[in-house]
């Protein structure tokens, strides 16, 4: 959709491209990340301009109301399309579900605008994509952005919604040294660890490998917690043993899937598995691992088994699809099969 003359005029009135940052994709992660970024930029410079955009207009409106409720004097505008967000700002951050949305937003929206901008404005632009998506799609998008003179990094995150809210995310960055340096000052307003993983696509490679480990671990922690209870163990005692022994891992010590297993913590299972990392997104990440494993001829048998289990969770218990992926425990608990395949 092309930006309308009216909405462009409104954006021009309030936005000054070099002072402005656009954030596209205000979902579970994006809302928290944009809030931290804008509030810290606003604290440094009350003249900074902010633009938000989401395919669901209510998400952008909810963000705007929340942010302006905290910072009434801030200059915040809603862009109705990614094109408008690019026209308005020199720095553009995207946090979208996956490859199809990133392809659509960049190829149909942001890149055509970059091509139409005066060279100097295109060259001053920095795009940061924090979506977890396919490595080759990200590399192609980055190459198309860079061909306009602009800079781009892939900067997927680790740390979940809690880390996004607390501003403690880890950013795994892929891109040139100079693009990394430029993005670092922005990313550090949303996270604690900003790691340059290598060339374009490397941040995603690191993220996909990490989530391969996580996806497998969350299932086996669910298996062990279920087995232990059926052997008569108290879940808090069992979690205490695992977490102080060699089986300890994030899936067990922070994201334990059994209510009351972590008495001093509040993992998603304490809220009916709401508010974490959706099972559907974990299934997507296992698929990304499968694709790169195929391309590089790397065996990932446990990854393949885990992908199959998450696919069954989403298909057989669709209500768990939007819930935290630790709800795979509930799938195991309610399964009648002794040998789940
Ligand atoms: P989400 O589905 O909650 O948010 C995505 C947002 O993008 C939604 O608001 C959606 O309306 C918007 N969107 C979709 N298409 C759009 C378009 N064409 N134009 C503008 N906006 C569009 O997802 P999320 O949980 O925030 O995750 C975002 C990314 O971060 C995913 O790639 C995910 O894998 C990754 N991630 C998520 C977590 C987590 O704990 N949720 C942790 C680490 C990484």
- Spans of all domains in the chain: 5-200, 206-339
Q: Among residues 75, 165, 207, 323, which one is catalytic? A: 207
Tokens of 145: 């952005």
Question: 218 alpha carbon to ligand 1 midpoint, in Å?
Answer: 21
Residue 9 pLDDT level (bands cut at 50, 70, 90): low
For residue 1, pLDDT over 50 is answered with no
pLDDT of amino acid 160: 87
C-alpha dist (Å) from residue 3 to 10, 31, 57, 118, 119: 11, 23, 15, 18, 21
Give 206-339's CATH code, choosing from 3.30.565.10, 1.10.340.30, 3.40.1160.10, 1.10.1040.10: 1.10.1040.10
Residue among 30, 92, 156, 288 whose CB has most ligand 1 atoms within 8 A, to mutate? 30
Q: What is the pLDDT of residue 245?
A: 98
CB proximity list for 140: less than 8 A, separation 6 or greater: none
27 pocket-lining for ligand 1 (C-beta < 6 Å): yes
Residue to probe by mutation, ligand 1, list 1, 25, 83, 111, most atoms within 8 Å of CB: 25
**Cα 1 to Cα 77, 79, 105, distances in angstroms:** 18, 12, 11
Superfamily of structural domain 5-200: NAD(P)-binding Rossmann-like Domain (3.40.50.720)
Pocket lining: 55 vs ligand 1, CB cutoff 6 Å: yes
Note if the pTM is more than 0.85.
yes
Q: Is 30 in the pocket of ligand 1 (CB under 6 A)?
A: yes
What tens digit of pLDDT does each residue of 170-199 get? 999 999 999 999 999 999 999 999 999 999
CA 331 → CA 212, 306, 322, distances in Å? 20, 13, 14
């Amino acid at each position: 959709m092309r930006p309308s003359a009216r909405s462009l005029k409104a954006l021009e009135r309030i936005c000054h491209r070099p002072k402005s940052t656009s954030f596209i994709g205000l979902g579970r992660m994006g809302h928290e990340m944009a809030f931290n970024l804008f509030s810290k930029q606003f604290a440094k410079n009350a003249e900074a301009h902010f633009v938000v955009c989401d395919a669901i207009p209510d998400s952008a409106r909810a963000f705007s109301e929340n942010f302006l409720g905290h910072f009434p004097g801030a200059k915040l505008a809603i862009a109705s399309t990614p094109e408008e967000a690019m026209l308005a700002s020199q720095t553009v951050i995207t946090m979208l579900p996956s490859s199809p949305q990133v392809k659509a937003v960049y190829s149909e929206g942001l890149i055509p605008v970059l091509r139409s901008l005066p060279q100097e404005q295109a060259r001053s632009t920095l795009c940061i994509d924090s979506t977890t998506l396919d490595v080759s799609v990200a590399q192609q998008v980055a190459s198309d952005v860079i061909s306009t003179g602009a800079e781009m990094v892939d900067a997927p995150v680790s740390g979940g919604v809690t880390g996004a809210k607390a501003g403690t995310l880890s950013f795994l960055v892929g891109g040139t040294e100079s693009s990394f340096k430029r993005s670092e000052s922005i990313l550090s307003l949303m996270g604690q660890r900003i790691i340059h993983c290598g060339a374009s696509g490397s941040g995603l490679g690191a993220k996909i490998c990490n989530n391969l480990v996580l996806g497998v671990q969350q299932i086996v922690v669910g298996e062990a917690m279920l087995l232990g209870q059926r052997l008569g163990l108290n879940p808090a005692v069992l979690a205490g043993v695992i977490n102080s022994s060699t089986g300890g891992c994030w899936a067990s010590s922070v994201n334990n899937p059994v209510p009351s297993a972590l008495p001093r913590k509040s993992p998603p299972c304490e809220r009916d598995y709401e508010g974490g990392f959706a099972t559907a997104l974990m299934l997507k990440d296992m698929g990304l691992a499968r694709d790169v494993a195929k391309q590089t001829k790397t065996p990932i048998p446990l990854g393949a088994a885990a992908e199959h289990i998450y696919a069954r969770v989403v298909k057989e218990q669709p209500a768990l699809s939007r819930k935290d992926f630790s709800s795979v425990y509930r799938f195991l608990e309610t399964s009648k099969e002794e040998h789940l395949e």
